[in-house]
Amino acid sequence: MESAAVFAGLHPTPGHHNHPLGPSRTAIKILPPSIDKINFSPLPLKLQKQSHFTSYIDNSAINSGNSFRVASPASDVASELADIDWDNLGFGFMPTDYMYSMKCSQGENFSKGELQRFGNIELSPSAGILNYGQGLFEGLKAYRKHDGNILLFRPEENATRLKMGAERMCMPSPSVEQFVEAVKATVLANERWIPPPGKGSLYIRPLLMGSGAVLGLAPAPEYTFLIYVSPVGNYFKEGLAPINLVIETEMHRATPGGTGGVKTIGNYAAVLKAQSAAKAKGYSDVLYLDCVQKKYLEEVSSCNVFIVKGNLIVTPAIKGTILPGITRKSIIDVAISQGFQVEERQVSVDELLDADEVFCTGTAVVVSPVGSITHQGRRVTYGNDGVGLVSQQLYSALTSLQMGLSEDKMGWIVELK
């Protein structure tokens, strides 16, 4: 299918980046001398189907405001994978070639964005993101198929969730179309960093932040939408193996009326203390309870949680304190399509401890089976410390769909090439 992104004169830096990039005080040129950056209009930009980057753009198309048209043969540079150990790829940050940036002022709309060389960004010490935490992020993945196609999984869902979060955080946000086009552009610009089939995925991290300077408590005057990417393997070092959770009874992730239901940055810093303490004791992560009655499940630090009892799958209902996970939403649909009964409601600790299986879902982990839960010193195990049948079945179904190994009957996959 046609790509909506346009690339001209993009030549990825040879070799493997294995160290953080240093600060850059000026934009790094990635195009021929006459063009500093690649600009994107708010309307869809159509491009003739290309498998690699091209050497220049037909400037008449730019000047006329029409769709860009590639005028030169494709380069072979982008067909080469980055020189890294794909067999031992963990879930950690690795600098890639390009990032995407788009700005707008408070009260206005985002209008165009640009690809830039990946590097540090410059912010005022008084930026809204630094002083008042006015920021959101998203997470999604791109996969490489054996036939060379590149796949995205439900990017419009991330775009919609970002818009909902932006409204809660008093920020303008890109349209769904702008978000998806920016993701496509960034992925294709970093194509050589997409792992080979079966070796992992390209993790995509969109950020929306109050980048303008503000001293008094108020929305920032300027906002930046940024996307960077990194190749990743499994989130948990165990891979698709059971993780061990501990229930936190003193600290809480979110409160009614707060921001627990949106993907704001402060939600994640708040879990670090309990998570660090749990990991120091040998647990994989923390499971949080509601802060009112302290007996109903909410979330793991960065995942939604499900329990299984016979043919019934239950997950805590979305009620403002729980993030509406896209993987969560997808697993519910997949489970229903496979004949499971699914309920979204309150789930008590007692019901959790009596479950046949427990698993977590999230963009990073996809599906992660739980081997044990510890609550107030009592440890309950599931599935003889093995991967539960339901967890395995749902993991296989969803990952096969995400990686293009099974037919997309849901209409969730976006092909980039």
Mind telling me the catalytic residues? 263
What single-letter amino acid sits at 258?
Answer: G
**Token pair of 227 as six digits:** 């996307």
Note every long-range contact of 287-293, with CB atoms under 8 Å and residues 24 or more positions apart, other chains counting: 287/245, 287/246, 287/247, 287/248, 287/373, 288/247, 288/248, 288/251, 288/252, 288/253, 288/254, 289/247, 289/248, 289/249, 289/252, 289/349, 290/252, 290/321, 291/252, 291/254, 291/255, 291/256, 291/321, 292/256
Coil/strand/helix, residue 162: helix
Q: How many CB atoms lie within 10 A of CB 150?
A: 20
**102, 112 Cβ separation under 8 angstroms:** yes
φ/ψ of residue 337, rounded to 5: -65, -20
**219, 104 Cβ separation under 8 angstroms:** no
CA distance 148 to 281: 43
**Token pair of 350 as six digits:** 């007692």
Angle at 333 between CA 408 and CA 144, to 5 degrees: 35
Q: Which of 370, 367, 368 is nearest to 327 (CA)?
A: 367
φ/ψ of residue 199, rounded to 5: -100, -5
**251, 272 Cβ separation under 8 angstroms:** no
Kindly state the greatest CA–CA separation across the chain. Answer: 70
CA distance 308 to 124: 49
CA distance 94 to 135: 22
CA distance 388 to 383: 6
For residue 105, list its beta bridge partners: 222
**206, 112 Cβ separation under 8 angstroms:** no
On the CB side of 128, how many CA atoms lie within 13 Å of its CA? Answer: 22
Note the residue count of the chain.
Answer: 417
